């Protein structure tokens, strides 16, 4: 017996990743490995990057590392992401107060990549390699 009715859609989740201080390829490097991002994509999460880095830089980075990001936006454009992807849950992970403010303004939940327990978060969502 499934725990939900078959006609109820599975609510997809979206994660927006800051780069610097958040992901391992950032400057400074963050604690989240790219394997976790790829795993999130495999599990059906909508994943993308949201950074002060120019779009061209972000796209080059994901091309270089072969990471399947579904959006690449500047930090003030999280609302655009929210409008473009209709999912059940929106989350931004970053390392500054600006990240937190932008997330709040766009109606995203926020996790702090340094102050919050990213290892526990990744384990909870089976994102650990
Ligand atoms: Mg950052």
- CA-nearest of 127, 52, 45, 58 to 91 is 45
pLDDT, position 128: 81
| Separation of CA 21 and ligand 1 centre (Å) | 5
State residue 79's pLDDT score: 95
Residues in Cβ contact with 26 at an 8 Å cutoff, skipping those fewer than 6 apart: 18, 19, 20
Q: For position 11, what pLDDT does the model report? A: 84
Q: What share of the chain is helix, strand, coil (3-state, %, to 5)?
A: 35, 20, 45
Q: How far is the centre of ligand 1, averaged over its atoms, from the C-alpha of 4 (Å)?
A: 38
Upper half-sphere CA count for residue 88 (Cβ side, 13 Å): 8
Residues bordering ligand 1, an ion, CB closer than 5 Å = 18, 20-21, 95
Q: What separation in Å is there between the alpha carbon of 93 and the centre of ligand 1?
A: 9
- Tell me, what's the pLDDT at 40? 97
Provide the pLDDT for residue 129. 61
Collect the ranges in the chain with pLDDT lower than 50: none
Instruction: Reduce the DSSP state of residue 78 to 3 states and report it.
Output: helix
Whether cis (ω within 30° of 0) applies to the bond prior to 28 is yes
Asked whether 15 and 47 are in contact (CB, 8 A), the reply is yes
Which residue bears the tokens 């017996």?
1
């Amino acid at each position: 017996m499934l725990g939900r009715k078959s006609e109820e859609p599975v609510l997809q989740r979206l994660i927006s990743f800051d780069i610097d201080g958040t992901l391992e390829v950032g400057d400074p490097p963050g604690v989240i490995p790219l394997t976790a991002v790829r795993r999130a994509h495999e599990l059906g999460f909508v994943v993308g990057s949201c950074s002060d880095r120019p779009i061209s830089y972000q796209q080059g980075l994901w091309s270089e590392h072969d990471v399947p990001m579904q959006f690449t936006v500047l930090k003030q454009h999280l609302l655009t992401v929210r409008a473009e992807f209709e999912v059940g849950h929106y989350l931004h992970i970053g390392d500054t107060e600006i990240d937190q403010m932008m997330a709040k303004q766009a109606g995203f939940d926020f996790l702090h990549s340094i102050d919050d327990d990213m290892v526990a978060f990744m384990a909870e969502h089976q994102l650990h390699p």
